[in-house]
């Protein structure tokens, strides 16, 4: 196992620079455009690298967590909450060549000077950057109520398509019909933290509905601590042993 992680670390380092020792070692999977490197960072933050493009998703908090990783070509933001949209982190991490892909509610909060580098996507919007297709899909709480923490239409989940591989990033959501109806997802990042998104049984049931090849439980720190990701893995594999559940350390300081 140690040798395997060492090889993966070298692969990611070749794509993005030296790996920060404080975060989990990266994983890699094959695409028709070369390896896809998957680097967990913390909570909702992760880094994907494929086809010469580096994508940061919801970079937030202390930017030293990204030390040693290549600068982002693309930054995806899912929602306006501080664990997803951190203007200080964006300012520190972006370069003059970075493209920001955000929902309208986030775009409204960005400085006017950012406008040339921003692509605004509503739910079901699509853009292509560096040959990588990014689809915005809904993320929201159920039942839909006026005081919902995540109302439908405000934030985006994303599907990233590169080299024949489809990666789903849930953002803050419950097991909504739009998630459950997904198909042909190779890699999924699925949240589970109460009272903000969904509990472990609901997350497992949604995953069993759309059947990704690989799923990472992420964003699993809630009001009462960390969700039981081992229980999530057991529930998913009891329902479908062909879904690979990858447990990684998204909270290295805890």
Q: Note the pLDDT tens digit of each residue in 51-102.
A: 999 999 999 999 999 999 999 999 999 999 999 999 999 999 999 999 999 9
What is 2-245's CATH superfamily? Ribonuclease Z/Hydroxyacylglutathione hydrolase-like (3.60.15.10)
pTM of the model: 0.91
Summarised one tens digit per residue, pLDDT across range 17-46 is: 445 556 667 999 999 999 999 999 999 999
Residues whose CB is less than 8 angstroms from the CB of residue 77 and which lie 6 or more positions away in sequence, other chains included? 58, 84, 85, 90, 100, 101, 102, 103, 106
CA angle 228, 41, 220 (to 5 degrees): 20
The DSSP code for 131 is T
Note whether 223 and 194 are within 8 A (CB).
Answer: yes
Q: Map out the domains of the chain as residue ranges.
A: 2-245
**The pLDDT value given to residue 7:** 35
User: DSSP 3-state assignment of 191?
Assistant: coil
Cis status of the peptide bond prior to 143, with omega within 30 of 0: yes
Q: How far is CA 163 from the centre of its chain?
A: 18
């Amino acid at each position: 196992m140690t040798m395997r992680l060492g090889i993966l670390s070298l692969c990611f380092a070749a794509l993005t620079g030296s790996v920060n020792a404080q975060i989990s070692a990266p994983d890699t999977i094959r695409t028709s455009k070369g390896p896809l490197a998957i680097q967990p960072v913390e909570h909702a933050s992760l880094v994907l690298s494929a086809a010469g493009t580096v994508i940061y998703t919801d970079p937030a908090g202390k930017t030293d967590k990204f030390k040693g990783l290549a600068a982002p070509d693309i930054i995806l933001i899912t929602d306006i909450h501080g664990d997803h949209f951190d203007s200080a982190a964006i300012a520190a991490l972006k370069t003059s060549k970075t493209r920001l892909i955000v929902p309208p509610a986030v775009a409204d909060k960005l400085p006017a000077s950012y406008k040339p580098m921003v692509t605004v996507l509503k739910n079901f919007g699509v853009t292509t950057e560096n040959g990588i297709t990014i689809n915005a899909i809904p993320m929201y709480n159920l039942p839909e109520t006026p005081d919902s923490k995540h109302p439908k239409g405000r934030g985006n989940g994303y599907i990233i398509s590169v080299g024949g591989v489809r990666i789903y990033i849930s953002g803050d959501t419950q097991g909504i019909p739009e998630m459950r109806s997904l198909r042909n997802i190779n890699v999924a990042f699925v949240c589970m933290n109460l009272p903000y998104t969904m509990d472990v049984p609901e997350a497992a049931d949604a995953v069993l509905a759309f059947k990704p090849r690989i799923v990472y439980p992420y964003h699993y720190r809630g009001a009462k601590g960390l969700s039981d990701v081992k229980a999530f893995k057991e529930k998913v594999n009891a329902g479908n042993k062909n879904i690979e559940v990858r447990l990684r350390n998204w909270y290295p300081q805890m």
